[in-house]
Structure 1
Amino acid sequence: MTDTKHAPGVLDALHTPDAPHAPDAPRTPDALHAPDVPRTPDVPRTSDTSGLLTPGAPDTLDEAPVTDDRDPARILTAMVDHVLGLAGTWTGWDGRPIPADDRIHTPHKAIRRVADHMVDHLAEMEARLVGEETQPDHWHASAITTEADLAPFTEADLDEARSRLVRLARVWANRLDTLTPDQLDRSPGKGWTFRQLAFHLAESTYYADSVGDLSAVDAPASRPYRTPKP
């Protein structure tokens, strides 16, 4: 499932290239599909592992998320609105990967991570609601940057991202709205409560913030605007 729930050290390997690729520079697949630091082998990671964000990417593990009395469904739709608001500025991206927190980020990578994160925890929640075991986590997550992540981000890509993320947000909101307060806060199965999962997913804005607002004059691709961490 998602990289946000793995045991420490499994996908904490960071992908930090020696120098940013020029927009027209050839890219070596081996360098893009594996992190610079090897993964620790044979360490199981399951979606019921409790843990949350460090100050870096949501790929890393720390303590359970803090919740409050806000509607978890609205939190998720607001997260997607924020991501898509920034994505609307990415069609002019110059092709240079953007470094942040010892990893590199691109528009396609940000959309990939937000969508995969939502899919992962949605599958976890649905499995727990019906009493199934959750799926082991095999995401490569933001520890790698794929060839697809490095592709230009076009208006068509933005349209696809809107359709994908808006629908995922509605699935999440509709499901959360059907749960009772007891199901939200005393959720079945092993792991965080479903309310905690929703608040955790709201941190997915990290990926979009790492790319930033590329329309801003003072925020070129090499120095993106990023929302300060609380």
Structure 2
Amino acid sequence: MTTDTTPAPADDNPALLVAAAVDRCLELASTWMAWDGRPITTDGANLWTPSKAVRRIQDHLVDHLAEVEALLAGAAPQPDLWHGRTVTLEADWARLTETDLAEARSRWTRLAQAYVNRYATVPDAWDVPRDPNWTLRAIAEHVAGVTWYAEQVGDLRFGDSARIR
């Protein structure tokens, strides 16, 4: 499993960073069934649950893939209107089951593969300036930071979910 999220060399598909980030998210998520139901607080204000992290990872992957597709089509990307991490939805309190994890694994790996495949079709476009938007390479490097959401919940193998970080 690759978890290195440093920028890819100029000749490597930058979306491989997204695939590596998804691998890391799945590694952590595989421990989240041990969550004890108590919220995890980070940065003094952000409240996290495994289901909230799953939602945010999916939102991030979808948002930026839609952005890439819009930019490649010459269209303006739609602004995201998610509330993001500032809200905790009722559904975020649900426990994460084996089936939920399997669903996330299917979604995230398919989305990561969509990034890799899409970027592979347009290598000459990776570094084209797209002001005021980022380059495709910069978008992939940003999306690879999706691991931040998973790290907010962390590794729960040892039942240590009620902690403040």
Same fold (TM over 0.5): yes
Whole-angstrom CA distance in 2 between matches of 1:77 and 1:137: 22
Q: Is the 8 A contact 2:36 2:161 kept in 1?
A: yes
Q: Which has the higher contact order (CA 8 A, sep 6+)?
A: 2
Structure 2 residue 15 is matched with structure 1 residue 80 = no
Q: Which runs of 4+ in 1 moved over 6 A?
A: none
Which AA in structure 2 matches 1:221?
Answer: S
* Aligned partner of 2:102 among 147, 153, 159: 159
The aligned counterpart of 2:118 is: 175
Measure, in 2, the Cα distance between the counterparts of 1:125 and 1:187.
Answer: 13
Structure 2 unmatched ranges of 5 or more: 1-5
**What is the one-letter code of the residue matched to 1:223?**
R
What's the C-alpha RMSD, in Å, of the aligned pairs?
Answer: 1.8
- Partner of residue 221, structure 1: 161
Seq. identity, %: 49
Q: CA deviation at 1:178?
A: 1.2
Q: How many correspondences in the alignment?
A: 157
Within the candidate set 89, 102, 106, 2:31 is matched to 89
Identify the structure with the greater helix proportion: 2
Q: Distance in 2 between matches of 1:68 and 1:152?
A: 36
Q: Distance in 1 between matches of 2:163 and 2:142?
A: 26
Larger Cα Rg: Structure 1 or Structure 2? 1
Pair 74,136 (structure 1): closer, same or farther in 2 beyond 3 Å: closer
1:192 aligns with 2:131: no
Q: For residue 118 of structure 2, give the secondary structure of its aligned residue in structure 1.
A: helix
Q: Secondary structure at the match of 2:15?
A: helix
Partner of 2:79: 136
Is there any run of 5+ residues in structure 1 with no aligned partner, and where?
1-65
